[in-house]
Amino acid sequence: MKIERDERKFDFHEIGLAIKKAREREGLTQEQLASIVDRDTRTIMYHENDGQHPSLNVFYQLTTMFGISVDQFFYPEMGADEATVKRINIMLQSLNESELRMVEGIIRTIKESRKAEEV
C-alpha cells in the first residue's frame, strides 16, 4: 500500500458564514457569543468573517449550539435530500414530546394532501 500525504485544506469560510447567520437569527451579538464559548470577541469575528479555523471544542460548541449540520461542508457531493434529512433529524432531537407530536401531525397532513392530489 502506497502512503501519500493528504494535501487537502479545509476552507472554513462557508461554515463561518453559517455560524454568523445562525448567531444573528438567534439575536446574539459577537460579544455575547464570545462570552458563551469563553473566547474573545475578535476570535468570533475572525471565525465568522475571515474563515479562521477554531479549535475542535469551539467548533463543536458553535455548530451544535446552532444546530448546524457540517455534512454539507465536509461532504459537498452529498445530495441535498440527504443533507436536509440530517438537518431535520438534528432539529427534531431538540424538541419536547408535545412539539414532536405537532411535527408528526404536520407530516401526516402533508402525506394525506399528497394522496388526495394523486387521486
Residue range 100-111: mean pLDDT, rounded: 93
Q: Which of 63, 56, 60, 29 is nearest to 44 (CA)?
A: 29
Using the 3D structure, point to which of 44, 67, 90 is the last residue of a domain. Answer: 67
Label residue 80 by pLDDT band (50, 70, 90): low
Q: Domain range spanning residue 78?
A: 69-119
Whether 58 and 74 share a structural domain: no
In a domain, 3, yes or no: no
| 102 and 87 together in one domain | yes
pTM for the whole thing?
Answer: 0.62
| Number of structural domains found in the chain | 2
Using the CB atoms, write b or e for 50-89: b if 16+ within 10 Å.
eeeebeeebbebbbebbebbeebbeeeeeeeeebeeeeee
**Is the pLDDT higher at 79 or at 117?**
117
* Owner of C-alpha cell 475571515: 50
Between 119 and 36, residue with greater pLDDT: 36
